[in-house]
Structure 1
Amino acid sequence: MALFLLHVAAGAILLEPAAAIAVAVLAALLIFFLATLEKLGVLFHYHHVAVFGDFEPMDSWVFVLGLPLIYAFIIGCFTALLIFVANEMNRKRDAILALSKALAQRNERLTALDQKRLRTMAVVSHDLKSPIAAVLAYLAALKGGYLGEVTAQQREVVQKSILRLERLGDFIRDVLAWQTLETGELRQNLQPIDLAPILQQSVADYSETAQSRDITLLLDAPESLPLVLAAPMRMAQVFDNLISNAVKYTLSGGRVDVSAAPSADASTLQVRVCDTGVGMSDEEMSHLFEDFYRAPTVRAKFEGTGLGLSVAQQIVLAHRGEIDVTSQPGEGACFTVLLPLLR
């Protein structure tokens, strides 16, 4: 009866299915364990009292009543322990679920804010491009003498204004590319392309700037190259950034060489942009592709935002390619871009 009452009480306490299953499993294990002990003669069932003829009546009743109570006490202790463990597990589970829900809500808010930030950057950058293009066109007309005669001093001022606006345009383009890379839109614009025309255009775009600074800018590449799977505008941006930096950091009388050819095993296309500029140390190269990083040795001498190389690397990596640099202080730098060829 005591054992029955104990189990009724335990059943009333156990409200969780998992705990009820655990108690049932424990009870089965205890029954098997106690039956085994009885079989081995370690414990005696109270029905076995009859075989002991020399038992006194009081001793027999103590044996008959005491042994089930001991069993009930053992089972009760284990039951209480299981109830405690089950309650603790439920409490921790509820806490984890609450924390998970809070983190999910926080993540949704952060995602919404991040998307809003990216949209704002895209709108602002896009709206700035049109007026900059208009001003550049006006300055080009002014420099060319289409609006009247221009003195040498005025032409120099106009040229500086054009260069600054072009840098601003490059920065806006880098910001737009940054936004595109973060939203994953780049993969949607991939197509088989020949990089030869893109390299030719990039070199042509910076030839005038290089010539004005007495820098030799040459392209060594065939008229057509093996196809790669890429976004044309982003590839143009990569090589514009590399060539622009090479021209910027090369002193008057220096040289910038751009070359492109398939690798020896015909698995990748290798594009190199090498200059005879100021070069950089190993410490500077270790931070070169970080956002907005500019080497201390050139920060005061050359203008820039430090975003171009970071964007170039992200674009190349998004195309499953590689970009590397070798350099020595005072001996120039050489950037190598590897892109997988289209199979």
Structure 2
Amino acid sequence: MSIRLRLTLWYSGILAVTLLVFGVGLYTFFNYKLNNDLRNELIMQAQEVNKGIRGYGVFYTLPDLREFKSAGIFLQSISIQGQIKRSSNLKINLPYSEESINRVLEGKVVFETISVNQEYMIMYYSPLVLEGSLVGVLQVATPIDDVEHFLYNLRLILIVIGLLTIFLAASAGWFLSRKALQPIENVIDAANAVEKSADLSKRIDYVGPRDEIGRLTDTINGMLSRIEGMYSELDEAYRAQRRFVSDASHELRTPLTTIRGNVDLLEKVWKSTALESGKGIDTGIRVIQDGNVELSLEAMHDIASEAERMSRLVNDMLSLARADAGFTMSKEPVEMNPLIEEVIRRAQFLPRSAEWISGDLTMLDGVYVQGNKDYLQQLLFILIENAFKYTEAGHVKLDALYANGQVGIRVSDTGIGMDKDEIPYIFERFYRADPSRGKKAGTGLGLSIAKWIIDQHGGSIEVKTRKEEGTTFIVWLPALTSLSSED
């Protein structure tokens, strides 16, 4: 429920309660006042009758009410002997009850509401006294239809005016609350615009008094200005970092390639010289001596190994730099079966101590994905090399799955495994899941690159692992409809 609606309901509810209390109070006042006036009038008429009665003993006559200007007042007396006398304006006898007469004779005040010819009246019982002696009971009655009609109209007026007032107040409250809360709507719109477009230059337009909403608007605008400044600084620093990594990677590739080429050349020259001299290839410390230059085959191997490791690191950094820069790889329909078979064939030549097993690939027959063949191969080699690296005994297996329109490539091993708590972090850059993994060569960037390649292909990766029992990676990629008929 919106604030605007809640405010309108609160205001309308308070007004409704106020009108209800006022209406009930007003109605109660008029009801009491009119009925009390009628009763007082009947009591006064009874007193006047007692003063104007004439006669002796049971022989008495009721006075003419016109003398008292009492139109609409009806009189009836019941003598001790049970004789009934009524005023001239009363055509029929008024009803009475013995219980009421007895109560009057006991000195109590008695009022009754009666119906005569479908006309409601209020009736007052009073002792009838003549020359100090009780001669009977006097009934004084008057119609109350006018009073009831007035009270009915009053109720109707109060209800109609109350409902109309509540409706008008609710409408006005809805309009005024909308106007009062419009600046907050502007704040929400500006925040949504910033969220959707990431444009921190947007500001909240506000024209009005410097009240709470005005101060809130100024505060949010100031906060947006500070965030924009900090974001610009961070973005500039991030762009500079990306440029540095990209440029450094490009610059380092050339000297590394040169180093590796020269080392390979030197190694070939040394081997050729050693064979020509008939001394064989010595892997000892001193191999070739030419003047003051002494080269070692072991040293050349170290240089070549380190240069190769640096090359891998630079290539990994370059791939991630491209990913950070928003590089989008070109994609085309790729048939999965030949691609996986090529990966399996080349993987058997990787350095390994575990058995390399190719599982069931029939699920891939005629299956295509929209992707980049080179990057998909790089993705699979990253997972396979990791499996070989951390599996000293046992096996590494690759097989295929297919479910819900997605093709799954599963790489499982029986290596050292991981703790399940470490799985959320293994795709972070330079993260090494287990301290013992630091003994293995690697940059800690492979899985980060693998995750980027998977994201670029609209896929996902599933990881299952158990400490000292092995790890399974399943790469899921959206499959295309078979294109074999078009080839």
Question: TM-score, structure 2 length as denominator?
Answer: 0.46
- 1:104 equivalent in structure 2: 228
Q: In the superposition, relative to structure 1, how do residues 336 and 164 fare at CA in structure 2: closer, same or farther (>3 Å)?
A: farther
Contact 1:279–1:330 (CA<8 Å) still a contact in 2? yes
Hey, what does 1:30 align to over in structure 2?
none
Question: Where does structure 2 lack aligned partners over 5 or more consecutive residues?
Answer: 1-21, 27-179, 181-207, 275-280, 284-295, 482-487
- Aligned-residue CA RMSD (Å): 3.9
2:393 paired with 1:257: no
Partner Cα distance (1:268, 1:182) in 2:
27
Aligned to 1:135: 259
TM superposition shift of 1:194: 3.1
Deviation at 1:142, TM superposition (A): 5.5
**Which of the residues 452, 462, 467 maps onto 1:324?**
462
1:129-278 to structure 2, matched below 5 A, reads 129-140=253-264, 148=272, 151=281, 153=283, 161-186=303-328, 188-196=329-337, 198-200=339-341, 202-203=343-344, 206-210=347-351, 213-220=352-359, 221=361, 226-251=367-392, 254-259=394-399, 261=400, 263-265=402-404, 267-278=405-416
CA distance in 2, matches of 1:91, 1:264: 56
**Residue in structure 1 matched with residue 428 of structure 2 by the alignment:** 290
Q: CA deviation at 1:205?
A: 5.2
Which residue matches 2:249?
A: 125
Deviation of 1:313 (Å): 2.0
In structure 1, C-alpha distance between the alignment counterparts of 2:299 and 2:384, rounded to whole Å: 24
Residues 1:93 and 2:217 are matched in the alignment: yes
Asked if the contact 2:432–2:438 (Cα under 8 Å) also holds between the matched residues in 1, the reply is no
Equivalents in 2 of 1:138, 1:206: separation in Å?
28
Which deviations, in whole Å up to 9, do the C-alpha atoms of 1:222-268 show, x marking residues without a partner?
797622122334323322211221121121x5432233x35045x11
More helix by share: 1
Q: Is the 8 A contact 2:401 2:410 kept in 1?
A: no
d(CA) in 2 for partners of 1:98, 1:294: 42
Q: 1:314 aligns with which of 452, 456, 461?
A: 452
Distance (whole Å) between structure 1 residues aligned to residue 368 and residue 417 of structure 2: 32
In 1: Cα distance, 2:224 partner to 2:272 partner: 70
Q: Deviations over 1:22-58 (max 9, x none)?
A: xxxxxxxxxxxxxxx9xxx9xxxxxxxxxxxxxxxxx
For the residue of structure 2 that corresponds to 1:263, the secondary structure is strand
1:318-338 per-position Cα deviation (integer Å, ceiling 9, x unaligned):
322111222333333221111
Unaligned runs of 5+ in 1: 1-36, 42-81
- 2-structure distance, mates of 1:332, 1:244: 14
Measure the CA separation in 2 of the matches of 1:243 and 1:276.
Answer: 12
Q: What letter matches 1:236 in structure 2?
A: Q
Q: Rate the CA distance shift 1:339–1:301 in 2: closer, same or farther, 3 A.
A: same
Structure 1 CA distance, aligned partners of 2:228 and 2:468?
Answer: 52
Cα distance change on mapping 1:128 and 1:310 into 2, 3 Å: same
Largest Rg, 1 or 2: 2
1:241–1:309 Cα contact (<8 Å) kept: yes
Q: How many residues align?
A: 264
Contact map agreement 1:274 1:333 (CA 8 A) in 2: yes
Q: Deviations over 1:148-183 (max 9, x none)?
A: 267373767655554443333232222222222233
The amino acid of 1:327's aligned partner reads T
- Partner Cα separation in structure 1 for residue 409 and residue 448 of structure 2: 18
Q: Distance in 2 between matches of 1:318 and 1:256?
A: 26
Distance 2:472 2:259 in 1: 34
In the alignment, residue 288 of structure 1 is paired with which amino acid? Answer: I
Higher share in strand: 2
TM-score normalised per structure 1: 0.62
Q: State the 1:293 CA deviation.
A: 1.6
